[in-house]
């Protein structure tokens, strides 16, 4: 029954996606990379939601909630603020310039080499980190959910490889051969399934601990340990309260406002108003995100009495324990859709970056649009194959998830810095952007992978020398020895801004930069964008105040 419902829902999504794009013109860059600039608000919001969610987040964030409680909701609720900023300030500028990729703006504002460096950084982050991790984590979930090793009579590793190639091939078909519109349509359908399936887990979980009543279950959960419902994280937890005012917001703004993987959905909007409505709808959905991504982890802590061997087991074990068996196949299909969404979204963005910013710019400047799309697809196939070969090698994926955001800081903050300076100033020159990218990356690498570990090791050694043996005391000594990586991001962001402004003062551009309107889509804004955006911000603040202890 589980396999039948899984196949039925998965095939339904594939058929609807094919039907929606069967007559689409994908021989042009806009047609293939941006869905013909025809995406509407609902499709944009659904695609954004599914692109953002995958197994490493669903399992990982609930695992964090299992450990730290409600404070990890910052990864979800604060995203709403970043999306509002993107809708009000960044998207109007992107669509005015008719951008297909974010680095395109950097070519116009600074120079071509700045754009190429940025595109290369994006691609490196996608290829080395995101694609293999998505494939590996998704395959572990699918293999475990259907007990593939036992069903096929193969080893765990063989089952993992089978799942990796299955997910990789299906995801590649959507992303490489269907273009953005196929990705966005399939995302939107899966978004409905994810919301329904994702809500079922906390509902059945609360019923399980509340003797059949959802409200009783919630009251039981709160009464058992009210401190775990504190929205303000403490030092030593994943999201200390102070970090939401520093690096947390920078990470959110980079991810939702400048990350090609995400913003490409809004760049494909049929108009600015439609794009803004899609972003605002996505922002509202992110406020509700903790119900799916945080609450199940907190329920699991109570249900299993904090006795799981690993916090990453919290979500899958809760699903196995509380979800009725007939619904397992449907939920597996939804989770499979989330895995595919993240994989094909990253792959489609990589194809876009290569085709527009590298192939057309440096390999064949005279290439027609159909040729750019053709070689973009070839690159996408090669990229997918590389990810499928690399993914099984990630044997320590569990620890990798914990450091994923930290690793992404190598390129996220430098790129976000030069984009901010690019739009906020008119005379800062190209050399400042190149120095900003290189210095930002190098300073972060030195800080997080040399200076930080050295100081933490020294602090632990000093504590042990003074006679301290308690593991928790030693852990806190290590944490107190060096700033949280989100604070480091904020410090380096400010330092980079200062460096670029000084260079701009000493060596300004000969002429001020002016952003021209390309008239590719209407840039008449949604008339309620600011009131609705303001309401979303008020709701987020109210949630934090209500749950603050």
User: Which residues face 13 on adjacent strands?
Assistant: none
* pLDDT recorded at residue 434: 94
Q: pLDDT-derived band of residue 31, with 50, 70 and 90 as boundaries? A: very low
Contact 75, 404 (CB under 8 A): no
Beta bridge partners of 233: 240
Tell me what percent of the residues of the chain surpass a pLDDT of 90: 34
Torsion of CA 546, 84, 412, 362, to 10 degrees: 170
Mean pLDDT of 399-407: 62
Our measurement of the distance from residue 119's CA atom to the centroid of its chain's CA atoms, rounded to an integer in Å, reads: 18
- What's the pLDDT score for residue 182? 54
Residue 177 lies in a domain: yes
- Report if residue 93 sits inside a domain: yes
What is the rounded distance in angstroms from the CA atom of residue 284 to the CA atom of residue 292?
A: 14
- In DSSP notation, 16-62 reads HHHHHHTT---SSHHHHHSGGG-B-HHHHHHHHHHHH--HHHHHHHH
pTM of the model: 0.82
Q: Is residue 505 part of a domain?
A: no
At 212-254, the pLDDT tens digits run 889 999 999 999 999 999 998 888 888 899 999 999 999 999 9
pLDDT band at 382 (very low <50, low <70, confident <90, very high): confident
Structure confidence at residue 16 (pLDDT): 60
Taking the alpha carbons at both ends of the chain, their separation in whole angstroms is: 46
Residue 386 lies in a domain: yes
Residue 443, CA distances (Å) to 144, 480, 496 in order = 40, 20, 10
Work out the percent of the chain whose per-residue pLDDT is above 70.
86
Rounded mean pLDDT of 140-161? 80
Does pLDDT of 9 surpass 70? no
Q: What is the pLDDT of residue 297?
A: 93
Domain membership flag for residue 425: no
Residue 169 has a pLDDT of 85
**pLDDT tens-digit series, residues 79-103:** 999 999 999 999 999 988 888 777 7
pLDDT per position as a tens digit, 474-505: 888 888 889 989 999 999 999 999 999 999 99
Q: State how many domains the chain has.
A: 1
Phi first, then psi, for residue 402 (nearest 5°) are -65, -30
Other beta carbons within 10 Å of 333: 24
**Residue 448: C-alpha distances to residues 167, 280, 462 (Å):** 33, 34, 20
**Ramachandran quadrant class, 388 (left: phi over 0; alpha: psi -120 to 50; beta: rest):** alpha
Query: Quick one: pLDDT at residue 5?
Result: 59
- Examine the pLDDT at 309 and tell me if it is beyond 80: no
Residue 424 lies in a domain: no
Q: State how far the Cα of 160 lies from the Cα of 479, in Å rounded to an integer.
A: 36
pLDDT at 285 over 70: yes
- Interaxial angle between packed helices 485-506 and 430-446, expressed in degrees from 0 to 180 and rounded to the nearest 10: 150
Burial per residue of 517-530, b for 16 or more beta-carbon CB atoms within 10 angstroms, e otherwise: eeeebebebbeebe
The pLDDT score that the predictor gives to residue 35 is 47
Q: Give the pLDDT mean for 387-405.
A: 67
d(CA 479, CA 455): 10
Q: Is residue 476 part of a domain?
A: no
pLDDT tens track for 56-81: 778 778 888 998 999 999 999 999 99
Reported as a pLDDT band with limits 50, 70 and 90, residue 295 is: very high
Mean pLDDT over the full length of the chain: 82
Owning domain of residue 277 = 2-16+36-409+523-547
Radius of gyration of the chain (CA): 23
Distance CA 246, CA 242 (A): 7
Note every long-range contact of 377-380, with CB atoms under 8 Å and residues 24 or more positions apart, other chains counting.
377/176, 377/177, 377/351, 379/350, 379/351, 379/354, 379/355, 380/172, 380/175, 380/176, 380/347, 380/348, 380/350, 380/351, 380/354
Q: pLDDT class for 119, splitting at 50, 70, 90?
A: confident
Which element (helix H / strand E) includes 222? helix 214-224
Does residue 520 carry a pLDDT above 50?
yes
Sign of CA pseudo-dihedral 28, 32, 36, 37: negative
Q: What is the pLDDT of residue 538?
A: 96
Residues in Cβ contact with 128 at an 8 Å cutoff, skipping those fewer than 6 apart: none
Q: How far is CA 157 from the centre of its chain?
A: 27
What's the CATH code of the domain at 7?
1.20.1730.10
Q: Which residue has the higher pLDDT, 484 or 518?
A: 484
Token output for 128 = 């080395």
List residues bridging with 240 in a β-sheet: 233
In a domain, residue 508? The reply is: no
Q: Is the pLDDT reported for residue 392 higher than 80?
A: yes
Q: Which residue has the higher pLDDT, 19 or 27?
A: 19
pLDDT confidence of 32, banded at 50, 70, 90?
very low
Which pLDDT does position 180 carry in this prediction? Answer: 46
What's the chain's length in residues? Answer: 549
Q: What is the pLDDT of residue 223?
A: 92
């Amino acid at each position: 029954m589980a396999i039948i419902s899984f196949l039925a829902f998965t095939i339904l999504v594939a058929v609807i996606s094919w039907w929606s794009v069967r007559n689409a013109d994908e021989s042009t860059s806009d047609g293939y990379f941006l869905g013909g600039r025809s995406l509407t608000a609902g499709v944009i919001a659904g695609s954004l939601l599914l692109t953002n969610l995958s197994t490493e987040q669903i399992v990982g964030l609930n695992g964090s909630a299992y450990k730290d409680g409600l404070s990890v909701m910052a990864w979800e609720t604060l995203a709403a603020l970043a999306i509002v900023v993107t809708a009000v300030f960044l998207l109007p500028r992107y669509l005015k310039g008719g951008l297909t990729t974010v680095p395109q703006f950097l070519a116009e504002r600074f120079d071509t080499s700045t754009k190429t460096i940025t595109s290369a950084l994006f691609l490196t982050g996608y290829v080395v980190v995101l694609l293999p991790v998505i494939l590996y984590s998704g395959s572990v979930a699918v293999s475990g959910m259907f007990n593939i090793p036992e069903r096929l009579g193969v080893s765990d590793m063989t089952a993992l490889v089978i799942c990796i190639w299955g997910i990789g091939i299906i995801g590649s078909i959507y992303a490489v051969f269907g273009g953005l519109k196929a990705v966005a349509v399939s995302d939107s359908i899966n978004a409905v399934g994810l919301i329904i399936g994702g809500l079922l887990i906390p509902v059945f979980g609360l019923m399980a601990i509340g003797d059949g009543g959802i409200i009783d279950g919630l009251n039981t959960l709160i009464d058992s340990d009210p401190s775990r419902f504190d929205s303000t994280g403490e030092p030593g937890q994943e999201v200390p309260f102070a970090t939401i005012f520093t690096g947390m917001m920078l990470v959110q703004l980079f991810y939702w406002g400048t990350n090609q993987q995400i913003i490409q959905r809004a760049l494909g909007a049929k108009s600015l108003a439609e794009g803004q409505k899609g972003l605002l709808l996505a922002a509202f959905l992110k406020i509700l995100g903790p119900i799916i991504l945080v609450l199940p982890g907190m329920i699991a802590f109570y249900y299993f009495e904090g006795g799981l061997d690993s916090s990453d087991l919290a979500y899958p074990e809760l699903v196995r324990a509380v979800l009725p068996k007939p619904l397992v196949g449907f939920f597996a299909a939804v989770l499979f859709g989330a895995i595919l969404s993240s994989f094909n979204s990253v792959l489609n963005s990589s194809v876009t970056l290569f085709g527009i910013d590298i192939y057309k710019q440096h390999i064949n400047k005279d290439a027609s649009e159909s040729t750019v799309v053709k070689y973009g697809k070839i690159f996408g196939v090669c990229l997918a194959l590389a990810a499928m070969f690399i993914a099984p090698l990630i044997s320590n994926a569990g620890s990798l998830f914990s450091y994923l955001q930290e690793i992404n800081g190598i390129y996220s903050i430098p790129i976000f810095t030069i984009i901010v300076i690019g739009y906020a100033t008119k005379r800062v020159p190209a050399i400042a952007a190149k120095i900003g990218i290189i210095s930002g990356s190098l300073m972060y690498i030195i800080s997080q992978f040399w200076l930080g570990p050295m100081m933490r090791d020294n602090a632990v050694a000093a504590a042990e020398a003074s006679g301290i043996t308690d593991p928790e005391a030693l852990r806190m000594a290590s944490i107190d020895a060096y700033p949280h990586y989100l604070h480091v991001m904020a410090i380096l962001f400010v330092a980079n801004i200062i460096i670029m402004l000084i260079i701009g003062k000493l060596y300004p551009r000969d002429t001020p930069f002016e952003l021209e309107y390309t008239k590719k889509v209407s840039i008449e804004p949604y008339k309620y964008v600011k009131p609705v955006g303001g309401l979303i911000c008020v709701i987020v603040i109210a949630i934090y105040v209500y749950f603050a202890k």
